[in-house]
Structures are given as structure tokens and as C-alpha cells.
Copies of this chain bind each other. A is one copy, B any other.
Amino acid sequence: MRDLVEIGMGRTARRSYDLHQVEIVPSRRTRSSKEVSTAWQLDAYRFEIPLVTHPTDAVVSPASAVRIGQLGGLAVLNAEGLWARHADTEGALERVLAAATEDDPVAAVRTLQELHAAPIQPDLLAEALRTVRDAGVTVAARVSPQRARELAPALLAGGVEILFVQGTIISAEHVSPGEPLNLKEFITGIDVPVVAGGVGDYRTAMHLMRTGAAGVIVGYGQSSATTTDSVLGIGVPMATAIVDAAAARRDYLDETGGRYVHVIADGGMDGSGDMAKAIACGADAVMLGEQLADAADSPGGGLYWTSAAAHPSLPRSEVTGFAPSERDLEAVLFGPSTSPYGNVDLFGALRRAMAKTGYSDLKEFQRVGLTVRG
């Protein structure tokens, strides 16, 4: 049954699948969409929709984080982004926007690189988090493994409630000449739940679960802007990666006699159809970025990029432009929609996909039948 191919003599590889190669198969019963719950819970925090934002300045500002929290999702502020480096973040974002309109397709990337050369200012970071906390929604922020130890105190001081330790690809065992992050020690020594990733395979997912992480991120935010595969040759076909991480979750649950680590799918999704497929493959929640970029109240003004766009020497994300729309985050998440393209009413669509296949909650929906296009 294991789906192996021989690339060449003596070298086998698994076949792996993207979400767009997979289809949900209705095959049991149908259900009214009013009878469906999309709620999930991460540690002590309950959310009405399984939405976590990709930690990019293009979609997460303190203001949009508040709005997303009020709408039932979890916004993750990038603790190494513009909000942490520039008091005049609006001015910084305007510079990106201005550069993106020029003929040079990499001018906006260059601008992001320049803006990220400014140092991180812990007080700016704390202030940003405080805005979110004061609005009464769950406070989450992302740090890279390299800077986790350095930035954790400021984040805790600022009131972070869930910490994301997230890089393109991370591992539980980082070899470094300096003082690498021992993720297990880090997580043990910190008071808030930690979500870690991205990963692309069963083994790393299992290792991260064993560090005590509350959640594991699968994927690295693959979007129409992301170019990691072209630059590094590392690709994560998401249907397979999510199914594998869900297998790790199940095995780890058994190994620990009951510790459930959440799997969050980050990337490889276009619109609501792919979000439903990600849950169907076994994700507990989906990390969205690009999907929120054209909302009128997203900070990027219609642009999208991931934090890899700002890498000082090897950027791995374009800045892609969207015509900013008039609809706001609420409409993007809950409609009503006048667009038939899967980009509006994202969670109404998820609810309806679950209803049409007869499932009433997310955990059950992870068992829906799937087919692979021939």
C-alpha cells in the first residue's frame, strides 16, 4: 500500500500529494449547515473558527489582530516584523506599497530587506501586544528559533498568551556553532503554550510533539508569493504532509496516553475548498495569509508577502499585489458573498462542505472520504 516509486536504480521515494490533487467525496449523508460547529480549542483557548493567521505584516497588525480575534480566529503577530522595528509602521508599509507599484518586480523585496535591517525594539513589540491584549482577545506572536530566547521576555511582558516558534523548516535538533535553541528546554521553561513549525514530515512532527509543543505547524506558508521550492528545492506537498502529521499526532497521543497536539496547516491552500481539504486530511486548524490580504482592513493595502521576503541575503517570497477590495475581514470570513471563487465567506464555505458530507464537527470531518485525481 505504501506508495513508493523508484526514482532511479536503488533510490526509492514516496509519492506525495498536494491539496489540489485531492477531492472530498460526499458519501454518507447530508446535514443542515446550521447543525455544524467549526469551533476548536488550543490549550485553554477556544476559537469559533479554526483560523490562525500566518505571521506576516501584510495581514497582521495590532488592529487586524484584534478584529480577527473578535471574529473568532487567532491572529499571530510577527515579533520580528515591521511592528517590532519601526515606530512609524504605517510609513514603513507605505514604502513597501510604493515600491510595489514600480516596474522592478523585486523593488518591494529590496524595500522589505532594508526595513528589516532596523533593529527590533522590545518596547514597540510590547506596545503592539498590549493593544491586542487590551481588546480582550487572545494574544499570540511568532519568533524564529534563532531569536526565541532573546525575544521571549519582552513577549511575555507584553502579555503573549500563545507563542509561535516558527521558521520555514525547523527541527527539534538544530546543529549550530553558537548556542542553538533547545526547543524542549525552552518550552519547559516558559509559561505559555508554544506552537512550533514548520515541518514537512512525520518524524520531525513527532520530534516537535515530544518537545512539549501544544501545536505543530505543517508547511511553510506556501502561497502564490512563496518561492522556497525554486530557491531551496524543498517542497512540502500538503495533503501528504498533513496526513503524516496527523499520524504523528495519533501515535504521540498513544505514546503519551492522551496528550493531543494540534496540527495547523500552513500553506498550499488557495481558497475555501482547499481549507476544507486541509481539515479533511487531518488538520485541526488552518493558517491563512494570502486569503486575507485583500480585505479592506488588512494592513498590507492589498499586498501579500511572507516573512521570508525580508531575508537579508536570500529572500524566498515575492511581494504579490492584489487589488484591494471593499470587503472587510468579516465578509471574507463569513460573507455574505457575491463571489463564486472561494475567496469570500471562507468559513461559511467550510461549514457547508461539512454539512454536505454529513459531519457536525471538525474532529469528525477529519475522517471524510478523499479521492485522488488520476
State the A residues within 8 Å of B (CB).
Answer: 1-18, 21-32, 34-35, 106, 109-110, 113, 168-178, 180, 199-204, 227, 229-237, 239-244, 246-247, 250, 270-277, 280-282, 308-309, 312-318, 335-342, 345, 348-349, 352-353, 356-358, 360, 369-374
Contacts and interface: CB of A to CB of B under 8 A. Distances in A.
Contacts of A240: 7-8, 371, 374
B374 A24 contact: no
16 contacts: A7-B17, A9-B243, A16-B23, A27-B201, A31-B174, A35-B175, A35-B177, A168-B356, A227-B342, A230-B273, A233-B273, A233-B277, A234-B357, A235-B371, A313-B348, A314-B352
A278 to B, nearest CB: 9
Contacts of A345: 313-314
Contact of A23 (B233, B357, B374): B233
B7 A230 contact: no
Nearest to A203: B27
Q: Which of A3, A18, A277, A345 has the most CB of B within 10 A?
A: A3
Chain multiplicity (copies):
4
B13 A370 contact: yes
Given A8-B244, A10-B243, 14 more contacts: A3-B374, A5-B374, A7-B17, A7-B370, A23-B234, A24-B232, A27-B200, A27-B201, A31-B176, A109-B339, A230-B270, A233-B276, A314-B337, A315-B339
A231 B231 CA distance: 31
Given A29-B173, A227-B342, A5 B233 contact: no
B176 A35 contact: yes
Nearest to A317: B340
B24 A244 contact: no
Contacts of A16: 8, 23, 371-374
B372 A5 contact: yes
B27 A22 contact: no
A109 B168 contact: no
Contacts of A18: 373-374
B232 A349 contact: yes
Contact of A315 (B9, B169, B234, B337): B337
Contacts of A349: 231-232, 314
A289 to B, nearest CB: 16
